Structure 1
Amino acid sequence: MLRAASFICLLLLLCALSVQAEQDTSPGPILVIGDSLSADYGFDRAQGWVNLLEARLDERGESRGVVNAAISGDTTRSGRARIAAALERHEPSLVIIQLGGNDGLRGLPVEETAANLRQMIAASQAAGARVLLVGVRMPPNYGRRFTEAFADMYRTVAADTGVVLVPRILEGVAERENLMQADGIHPTAEAQPLILDNLWPAIEGLLETN
């Protein structure tokens, strides 16, 4: 009787250890740190590209959880201030940094934006996560010199830190009035699948290497 009880206890212990080992090796979630372009501004959150990303992963049998930590109006400065807590809380395997647009719209120095992005990338890499950097273009009325410097900033940061870059989140979207809200800045709900398609090749590539 004692031997049977000991055997059952041993089996239970092995099962518990097996479950724990599986949990320890499973990939962490995807963490999105962004602004209104990722925070579903002007429409229901279920329609946003972040939620569509999670649904696509579920359909492919690659469920890992997607944490939408985007905040409308966020800048790289505030993103830098909150990323450490987000990394500690969620332990992501992939961090998507979609910030900088509000910096540009407010005319903040490009050098400051670049420095903040570098710090966010460094913190994510130190936490063991891969990073996807997502850029945005400034409207042409900001002047050619500034808009070109802003676009170059993303490319330089990505090259220097070794992260994957999607240069323009609204590629093929911002040019179409029917896909933009009345303010001319924010995409509509109908544009969200196109935004996900813009990001998907980079995301898929990074997930395959995790």
Structure 2
Amino acid sequence: MNCANCRDYACYTEGRNCAGLSDDQSLGLYDDGDRRIMEVAGSVEARHYMKMCRLEESAECARQLGAQTIGLAFCIGLAEEARLISAYFEKSFTVHSVCCKVCGTGKDKLGLEQIKPGTREAMCNPKAQAAMLADAGTELNFTIGLCVGHDMLFNAASTVPVSCLVVKDRLLSHNPLGAVYSRYWRRRLGINPTGQV
């Protein structure tokens, strides 16, 4: 598959099937829990399209799924944002939040490269974040700015569904798409369309 370079997206506009999977095969990929999430995601999109921000959509999704306890796994660099997000969710849910530096384990314990060699740096601990949220009995988890790679480990270790609320981008105000919206960044990354300066 190479959908990123498709020119017409007829799967969306006409129902064309390029994947080689029948409808039965495609639908067979979803178990009952998956189907419930699909129903709720469809409901949130259909009823609130262009009316809710991502934070509101996340809360609405959790409500429709019947969740009462949610988890936040956040980067310490976004602690203030996590505090505000938690305050919003606490209006409707029991919230458990775990910072990336939980346990305070030094990077040297895993032989990890440091930002400032020779100083004490606590490592990010995504698997401990997931374990602590599992122990707290969360029904859904949301990530807030976990590092690339740490997000993968957290998602894989989480015992409940995970949705990304905030993507970290230290250079672009946590907006990775800024790199493709800016001609300067497109040139720097070598992806500027032909004919554009």
- Normalising TM by the smaller chain, what interval? 0.3 to 0.5
TM-score w.r.t. the length of structure 2 is 0.36
Normalising by structure 1, we get a TM-score of 0.35
Higher relative contact order (CA 8 A, sep 6+): 1
